Amino acid sequence: MLVSLVLRLPYWNVPFPNWDESCFLVVGQDILRGHLPYEQAWCNKPPLGFFYFAALIALFGKNLAAIRAVHSIYIALSAFIIYLTGRSLHQTVAGLYAALFVIVLATFISAGQSIIMEHVALLPLTAIVYLFVKPPTLQRLVAMGVLVGIATLIRTNLGFVLPGLLLCIVCLARQPVLKIRIKQAFIVGAAALLPVAAMGLLYEFRGEFALFLIAMYKMPFAFVHAEASNLLQSIRRLQIIFYFAMYGHEGWLIFDACLAGAFFTTITKPNKHIIQIRMLVLTLFIFISIVATGAQYSHYLIQLLPFGSLPAGCFMKRILHEPKGRYSILLSIVIGASIAILMGKSIVDANPEEAPLYASAIDNFSAYVKNTNGPTTPDSLPFDRAVYQVADYLNAQQVEGKYIFSVDSPLIYYLTGALLPITEAHPALLSKIYMLRARNGEDYTFDRLIDEIFSKNPVYVVDINGRNSSLEDLIRAKLRESYEKTIVIGWYSIYKRKVQ
């Protein structure tokens, strides 16, 4: 816990409003107003994770530093479960390294400094791993299934854990009787449906079951259909992410520590090799789910940590505490890293048009870490401290409970307590017509979106300078008609509705 608190302490109150974190806070805030996710505010994630943010806001209000501090404890709890698992499998030292592996990468992978759904999913995922390596009792099987259902209600792609578990139970278990193995798999599968069914009933009682189906199925499939042009394209993009992640020491840790640790544990501890194979199978299923999403980002790799941290912890124990085999392990690092780098380089060389996208993202974040005074281009604005100054200005205008519209920074809604004029909390969703139609119907258009925004007569509109798109042109046309600019703060221009 101390390690998690210390590592994440510098990020508790730094001014980098992450879009995802901000949207989750906005939806959580709306839950406290009595609404379910997707009723009045939504982001393209399943419903359950938003209740975590609602609980944090209920406890700490608008104190983002306190919320991030408590979240550090949440990550530490996930790491502690991995420690217990590693200790039972490979001794205490291996468990400690596995826990550190979780904390460090969950913090330093891009976007890991804020609170993201991959973090929220860590606790049920690590608990699944803890139960999975224990002898299968009825209580443990039911608990594993329930946890899989909970994880799926946080990130839809984690439903891929279920077929991985069922495969391991039926094909990779020490239980010699096939009938018993099939029965165990059935128990896990049935239990996994319980949390999903409970959430569906909650929406049904509100007369909003259609929204539940949108949140769990229609929205994720719309995203995958639009983003995943083909399987090879997705794999190539993910490989590029691994390549550039090595720039930040993420990719090689996952690649080498997991594979080398699993390989040497399998060779040197035959009694543990079934468990290692099971962990690799589950890792593979999570990897497939990430590839299937189409749009890959490096923070998606956090989902691999509960399964990859155990062989990684064993790897670190061997290389640092056991002289025998140390040179062969070092050789595996060199070979593994070389293969990964050469693979990434060949992909980047073959597809140079994609490389600048990832390199630019890394450069922007590196620039933020070195200098938090603000960005050098509008595209790096999510790390700008000016959004807090904008919120202070709007709070002085007493906008809490009133409609405002922020073109770029949803964190403003959370910091001011103002209302969204539309249901879409994430700015990126506003430009993705396929996501808007998944929520609002196939006949939905950008013109209807603009009409909905301004039909609520937002008192203030916060625009972003220097960024242009057809959607923003429509918004600015409305601003010229009915609004007047009152102040410019950093990269933001604040407009007030004219008195009619």
Edge-to-edge strand ranges of the sheet holding 460-464:
404-406, 460-464, 492-497, 483-489
pLDDT score of 468: 67
pLDDT at residue 329, rounded to an integer: 58
DSSP string, 34-77: T--TTTS-B-SS-SHHHHHHHHHHHHHTT-HHHHHHHHHHHHHH
CA dist 306 and 206 (Å) reads 35
Taking the C-alpha atoms of residue 103 and residue 97, their distance in angstroms, rounded to an integer, is 10
pLDDT of residue 404: 94
Say which residue, 403 or 425, is predicted with more confidence: 403
What pLDDT digit, counting tens, does each position of 210-250 carry?
999 988 888 887 777 766 555 555 555 555 444 444 434 44
pLDDT at site 178: 87
Q: What is the pLDDT of residue 114?
A: 84
Relative orientation angle of helices 64-108 and 305-321, to the nearest 10 degrees: 60
- What 8-state DSSP symbol labels residue 408? S
Over range 134-156, report the average pLDDT: 94
| H helix intervals, 351-469 | 355-370, 386-396, 411-416, 433-440, 446-455
**pLDDT category of residue 172 using cuts at 50, 70 and 90:** confident
Mean pLDDT of all residues in 385-390 = 83
Q: Is 130 helix (H, G, I), strand (E, B) or coil?
A: helix
Does residue 150 surpass a pLDDT of 80? yes
- Dist. CA 9–CA 130, nearest whole Å: 28
Among 23-27, 106-110, 117-121, 160-164, name the one with the lowest average pLDDT: 106-110
Is 14 a residue whose pLDDT tops 80?
Answer: no
- One-letter amino acid of 155: R
pLDDT tens figures, 38-74? 998 888 899 999 999 999 999 999 888 889 889 999 9
| End-to-end CA separation in angstroms for the chain | 56
Q: Alpha helices, DSSP H only, in 109-248?
A: 117-120, 122-132, 138-152, 161-171, 178-205, 209-213, 219-227, 231-245
Tell me what percent of the residues of the chain surpass a pLDDT of 90.
34
Q: What are the tens digits of pLDDT across the range 279-337?
A: 778 888 887 887 776 666 777 878 888 887 877 777 777 766 666 555 555 655 555 55
In this prediction, residue 383 carries a pLDDT of: 43
pLDDT at 193 over 80: yes
Judged against a pLDDT cut of 60, whether residue 493 lies above it is answered with yes
Q: Per-residue confidence at 78, pLDDT binned at 50, 70, 90?
A: very high
Residues 6 or more apart whose CB falls under 8 angstroms from that of 3 comprise: 76, 100, 103
Residue 29 has pLDDT above 80, yes or no: yes
Using CA atoms, how far residue 152 sits from 160, 302, 489, in Å, is: 8, 15, 40
Task: Assign 138 a pLDDT band (cuts: 50, 70, 90).
Answer: very high
With contact defined as beta carbons under 8 Å apart, do 393 and 487 qualify? yes
pLDDT score recorded for residue 244: 43
Position 370 scores a pLDDT of 41
- Across 145-153, average pLDDT: 96
The contacts of residue 183 (CB under 8 Å, 6+ apart) are none
User: Cα separation of 5 and 311, whole Å?
Assistant: 25
- Which has the minimum average pLDDT: 126-130, 203-207, 333-337? 333-337
**Range of lowest pLDDT (80-89, 178-187, 228-237):** 228-237
Q: Which residue has the higher pLDDT, 496 or 18?
A: 496
CB 368 within 8 A of CB 383: yes
Q: Is 62 left (phi over 0), alpha (psi -120 to 50) or beta?
A: alpha
For position 234, what pLDDT does the model report? 53
Average pLDDT, the chain: 78
Read off the pLDDT of each residue in 390-397 and give the average, rounded to a whole number: 93
- What is the reported pLDDT for 324? 59
Per-residue tokens: 469: 């798109």
Of the listed ranges 39-48, 89-98, 188-197, 332-341, the one predicted with least confidence? 332-341
Query: Residue 17 has what pLDDT?
Result: 57
Q: How far apart are CA 17 and CA 13, in angstroms?
A: 10
